Amino acid sequence: MTDPRATLQRKFEQRDRFANFGDVLMKITVSGFRGHANTTIDIRSPITAFCGLNGCGKSTIVELAAAAYRPPIGTAFQISTFFAVGPLDPAPFTPQASVRFEYWQANQTVRSIALSRTAQSNWSGYRLRPLRDVTFVSADIHIPRVERRDFVVREAAHLHVDSTTDLAEVRTQSQTVLGQTYTVVQEKRVRSGTTRTEVLSASRGGVSYSEIHMGCGEGRVQSMIRRLEAAPDKSLIVLEEPESALHQSAQYRLGQYLVKLANRKGHQILLTTHSDFILRALPQMSAVFLHKTAAGLQPIAGIPSMQAVSLLSEGHAPALTVVVEDDCARAILSEIIRRVDATFLTSVRVVVAGKRDAQGQTVGGGKSEIKTTMATLARAGVRVAAVLDGDGTADAALSLFKLPGTQAPEKEVLAVPEVVAYLQSTYGIIWPDFLAGLGNIDHHQYLPRLAAQARVTVDQLTGELAREYAARVPANDATALIQQLKDAATQ
């Protein structure tokens, strides 16, 4: 059976993109808004899910995106819709702030416009926006009426029902997302005096009730789906944290619904989320993680859901556990990952499968110890791979990889001239002479003996030498190893 995610992603291929989705947004560049000094977002899927830690700027991006079009009928969103200036917030953007949008065109090129500040402190560029309907569903789409205490609750006994409309598609999609059967979902237009509004009602299990008596999650889903099903084809849909108040399986099914909706109606959907279940339900190219670094905000497009979840948990839920033979191998692998992709390092856990000796140092347990550890972790539901020493034998089918080189890691490290030079310049140790004085000892003792001579801990020296060594590993070898681990994290 064809995966709807794959179908959706194929529809976004260059030659068919405009026919399927129209003049969709392909790139957003935000300058001078809140925490975005200069952030560029590349869009790679009909659904783009912005994820990241609180305060990373997800809402800022989708709010600005809502202002990218002007609707054929009705009032368009503008920057002032979301960015109010006043005594409490005198400067939510800089005097030079701008947002640039790039739209896909029928001739397979992009058209670019910018909304930017004028000398009169107004925003220019609005008239250049293309026509497209925009549906913005904020995080407060459904605040239970009992909490709001609006007239529907206050005047419940005196309401007049003027009309009732069956919402068949809302019923179908709501029961799929929520996992419960509805006989009917309706919209009732009610009034009390001159005050009018629409109220959702539903029937299930022989009981009929309005949204006054719905739980927050149930009412939110029905309200949201009603809005989404009413949006014209090929709309821009913007959702803020649509998973709020939903249990985990409902979050996953909501993600599946969004995929089917985009397939069915040609919508472009932008959303913010903290839900790993929604991310797992979307195409991999949908996720954009906003990673805050010392150098600024780094958007990571197309991040695998497991890695995104790990980053959202700040490493408490690693995307992959990597088993190695000893402490030296762990230090080397960590430094190679850091060199190639420091962000990936924050989403993996490197553990040692070896055994501790009498001095508390880890000695290699060999391939059999590796396999035992992998099997134990796998039974516990942990996604796991292994990186053997350079003298081991890799087997990609079993997620067994190997470090660069052909020797044990201690030997590989101390065979690099730059590492030997570092030892001498930093600690005054001439390695060939020191090695000759060691006699015929096991290579696992090299680093403890060196650390004792240098008057530092074994961990400190191992880390320093591993860093020097990793910097000299051929770039192709380092990149290939890390790509193997990334692939293992997504299998």
For residue 148, the model assigns a pLDDT of: 67
Q: Is 115 a residue whose pLDDT tops 70?
A: yes
Query: If you compute the radius of gyration of the chain from its CA atoms, what whole number of angstroms results?
Result: 29
DSSP 331-386: HHHHHHHHHH-HHHHTTEEEEE-SEE-TTS-EE--HHHHHHHHHHHHHHTT--EEE
Residue spans of alpha helices (H) in 380-445: 409-413, 417-427, 431-438
Looking at residue 144, its pLDDT comes to 65
- Residue 350 shares a structural domain with residue 406: yes
End-to-end CA distance of the chain: 19
Tokens 């539901």, residue located: 381
Same domain for 100 and 243? yes
Span 232-250, average pLDDT: 95
Give the SS3 label for residue 298.
strand
Distance separating alpha carbons of residues 51 and 304, to the nearest angstrom: 12
Q: Looking at the 3D structure of the chain, how many domains does it have? A: 3
Q: What is the mean pLDDT of residues 218-223?
A: 91
Among 409, 470, 394, 473, residue whose Cα is nearest residue 444: 409
To which residue do tokens 């839900």 refer? 275
Strand-by-strand arrangement of the 39-42 sheet:
39-42, 25-33, 93-104, 110-117, 123-124
CA distances from 335 to 331, 365, 426 (A): 6, 22, 19
Lowest-pLDDT range, 86-90, 137-141, 401-405, 415-419? 137-141
If asked whether residues 282 and 333 sit together in one domain, one would say: no
The answer for residues whose C-beta is within 8 angstroms of residue 213's C-beta and 6 or more apart is none
Using CA atoms of 394, 400, 406, 409 in order, give the dihedral in degrees to the nearest 10: -170
Residues 244 and 194 grouped into a single domain = no
8 A C-beta contact, residue 67 and residue 79: yes
DSSP 190-203: EEETTEEEEEEEEE
Q: What integer pLDDT is reported at residue 177 of this predicted model?
A: 96
Q: What is the mean pLDDT of the chain?
A: 90
Question: Could you tell me the residue range of the domain that residue 186 belongs to?
Answer: 145-214
**Considering the chain, what percentage of its residues have pLDDT values greater than 90?**
66
- Based on the fold, state whether residues 462 and 342 are members of the same structural domain: yes
Is the pLDDT score of 60 beyond 70?
yes
Report residue 7's pLDDT band, with 50, 70 and 90 as the boundaries.
Answer: very high
Residues 165, 247 share a domain: no
Other C-beta atoms closer than 10 Å to the C-beta of 376 total: 13
Residues 406, 391: contact at Cβ < 8 Å?
Answer: yes
Are residues 127 and 264 located together in one domain of the fold?
yes
Q: What is the pLDDT of residue 368?
A: 67
pLDDT value at residue 354:
55
- Residue 26 in domain: yes
**Overall residue count recorded for the chain in this entry:** 491
The domain boundary, picked from 250, 273, 303, lies at 303
Last residue of a domain, one of 214, 244, 275: 214
Residue the block writes with tokens 């490493």? 315
Give the model's pLDDT for residue 369: 72
Whether 268 and 202 share a structural domain = no
- Identify the DSSP state of 70: B
> Residue 40: phi, psi to the nearest 5?
-115, 125
DSSP structural state of residue 75: P
Q: What is the pLDDT of residues 147-199, one digit of tens each?
A: 667 788 888 888 999 999 999 999 999 999 999 999 999 999 999 988 999 98
Contact between 137 and 63 under an 8 Å Cβ cutoff? The reply is: no
Stretch 476-489: mean pLDDT: 93
The answer to whether position 464 is within a domain reads yes
Kindly state whether residue 227 falls inside one of the protein's structural domains.
no
Written as one letter, the residue type at 389 is D
Q: What pLDDT is stored for residue 146 in this prediction?
A: 63
Is 23 exposed, middle or buried (CB count within 10 Å of its CB: 0-12, 13-18, 19+)? buried
Per the domain annotation, does 220 fall within a domain? no
**The two three-digit tokens of residue 92, written as one number:** 């939510």
Per-residue pLDDT, averaged over 270-290, amounts to 94
Assigned domain for 309 exists: no
pLDDT one-digit tens code per residue, 287-341? 999 988 877 888 988 887 777 877 887 777 888 889 898 899 999 999 999 999 9
Judge whether 221 lies within some domain.
no
Q: Where are the beta strands (DSSP E) in 171-247?
A: 184-192, 195-204, 207-210, 236-240
Amino acid 351: pLDDT: 86
**Residue 149 domain-assigned?**
yes
Over residues 87-102, the pLDDT tens digits come to 999 889 999 999 999 9
pLDDT band for position 362 (50/70/90)?
A: very low
Give the separation between CA 68 and CA 321, rounded to whole angstroms: 42
Which range has highest mean pLDDT (189-193, 250-254, 366-370)? Answer: 250-254
- Please tell me whether residues 346 and 450 are part of one structural domain: yes
**Domain-terminating residue out of 303, 333, 364:** 303
Same domain, 102 and 33: yes
- What CATH number does the domain containing 50 carry? 3.40.50.300
| Cα dihedral sign, 397-478-312-324 | positive
User: So what's the pLDDT on residue 202?
Assistant: 94
Beta strands in 226-331 (DSSP E): 236-240, 268-272, 287-293, 296-301, 320-324
Neighbours of 24 (CB within 10 A): 22
Q: Is 472 in the same domain as 407?
A: yes
Specify the higher pLDDT residue, 375 or 223. Answer: 223
Q: Tokens in use for 324?
A: 């190695």
| 226: in domain | no
Task: Enter the DSSP assignment of 20.
Answer: H
Shared-domain flag, residues 402 and 477: yes
